[in-house]
Amino acid sequence: MRCNEVQEMFPEYLAGTLDENVKMQIDNHLKTCETCSGELKILNEDIKLEFTDNIIDKRKILKKTRFKFNMAILRVVIITLGILYLILTTPFIAYQIRGSMGRENQFRALIDIIQFTQPDKINMWANSFESYSFSETLKIGVRPVIGHSYGEQFIYETKMSFITGKVTAPVHIGANFIHPDLFKNASFDSMKDKEKQREILRKNSDNTVATVDYSLKKTISLKDVENLIGNYDVEVCWMAVEAGIENLQPKNLYMENQQVYQWGIPSKLFSIGNAESSEFKKGNVQEYEKSILNELKWLDENKNILKPDKQLLKVNGINNSVEEKASYILKNGIKVYGLRITGPSSELIKLTDQIDPCIMILVDMDFWNW
């Protein structure tokens, strides 16, 4: 075979695809031809070098790909940890920010909505931070003035949002007074009949003290209340006042019990950080009324702090937020139609004769060192 013929078949020779007889002829030629042997050697080296370079390139690409993949995973881990850190720490940061801004307004609004809608005395307030939550629990403690449950504290709890600073108005049922314009011809059970309730008081011994709710036959002023009780050894606990909601008729309640959500004023205005609270007592009515109206004005101006309880709205249709109630009292004045009074049974018997209420409810009584 000639050299050019042998060199043309080198690719097939190296690939091992030649016929056995042809391969044998090339082998015999290469033994005697240094030129063709040299060309085959050069061609074989080039092929090995190219193959080696391809392997190196592939390894570099694989290494770089793995590095990029690992970096991507690392970024995902870092971002995930960052998000978890924010979730865990943001409520605490918000708590610190809200705390530095002060909670006086939130507590003041909460205390007002309680003392203007229920007759027990407020005697404490507190707050508690909940981990991993964007809200804080505000607590207000109240207790009855006298009676079997005296000293037992009932706690109203509600949530304050760190984001908005708003507080959900707590749900509660206050005193059950009847406005004089309602149920004029209705007959009530023994728990509200003034004659039967007065007989219970008469049977009490002289050292018993009772708490009584009086629903009046007409609205009266605070000065009238002072004149009414001024000569008796009793204490006014709470006074139901007109707030524009007296015709409220929520669902799922009986006729004479339909006024479960009422507005009124306490006998002693409770306020945070003020040891000298205004108190309703003889000779102090004018100052007391001024303090009440100022507090109602503040509450009306800051009513957006409180939001109604949605569940109460859904179940009974009762809106327990401020809405227009405070502004109604400011516009129309304080008109009292219900009195919660405590004192010795003998004094309450005499007072009942003078008040001549529409209805009367004996709330509680106990032996007491008045």
- Is 249 exposed, middle or buried (CB count within 10 Å of its CB: 0-12, 13-18, 19+)? exposed
SS3 204: coil
Angle at 59 between CA 53 and CA 62, to 5 degrees: 140
Per-residue pLDDT tens for 296-353?
Answer: 999 999 998 988 777 766 666 666 678 889 999 999 999 999 999 999 999 999 999 8
* Angstrom distance (rounded) from CA 235 to CA 281: 8
Per-residue pLDDT tens for 317-328?
Answer: 666 678 889 999
Which residues does the chain have with pLDDT short of 50?
252-256, 258, 275
- pLDDT in the model for residue 132: 62
- pLDDT in the model for residue 219: 95
* Angstrom distance (rounded) from CA 47 to CA 67: 31
Cα end-to-end span (Å), the chain: 139
- pLDDT in the model for residue 47: 64
- pLDDT in the model for residue 49: 56
- pLDDT in the model for residue 186: 66
Residue type, 290: K
- pLDDT in the model for residue 252: 47
Mention every residue, 6+ apart, whose C-beta is less than 8 A from residue 100: none
Q: Which two tokens stand for residue 88?
A: 């865990």
- pLDDT in the model for residue 255: 41
- pLDDT in the model for residue 60: 65
User: What's the DSSP call for residue 225?
Assistant: H
